[in-house]
Amino acid sequence: MSKRTDDGIMNGDGSTSTDTHWSQLAQRHYEPNGQGELTTALVFAIAEAKGVSPPEVKSPPVYESVDIPAIEDAFFGPDLAGDSRQGVGTVEFQYTNYLVKVRSDGWIQVYEPTEADLS
């Protein structure tokens, strides 16, 4: 079994990039207008998936895996007129061996590969 530690992968069509099967471990809703940051919500979701407390999620920093401010701008930031963007889609990337999806409706989902499909 190969452990993938790629940098971020973004797929426009919302599909995963390989034939690997994934099972969802955790999900969390990010409130764009709330006090928290997307990075925080994401790390809390990853921590839940790993079964650890959020500060125990260490290397690598999410900063090195994916451009979070770009996702915030694309999905949750204001447009030029100051209204909220109506972007619709999902950004997927891998963080260590987890697959993370951030949806434009604010849902963050964390998956792990299932090992049943090693055909």
**Footprint of another protein (CB under 8 A):** 35-37, 39-40, 42-44, 53-55, 57-59, 61-64, 68
How is 20-82 classified by DSSP, letter by letter? --EEEEEEEE--TTSSS-HHHHHHHHHHHHHTS-GGG--SSPHHHH--HHHHIIIIISB-TTS
Question: Is the separation of the CB atoms in 108 and 99 below 8 Å?
Answer: no
Distance between CA 75 and CA 85 in Å, rounded? 6
Taking the complex as a whole, how short is the minimal distance between the CB of residue 81 and another protein, in angstroms? 21
Closest separation in Å from C-beta 48 to another protein = 13
For residues 20 and 73, which CB has a smaller minimum distance to another protein in the complex?
73
Q: How far is the CB of 55 from another protein (least distance, A)?
A: 5
5 or 17, CB closer to another protein? 5
Least gap, CB of 114 to another protein (angstroms): 27
Q: 39 or 104, CB closer to another protein?
A: 39
Encoded tokens for 45:
């979701």
The residue (of 64 and 79) whose beta carbon lies closer to another protein is 64
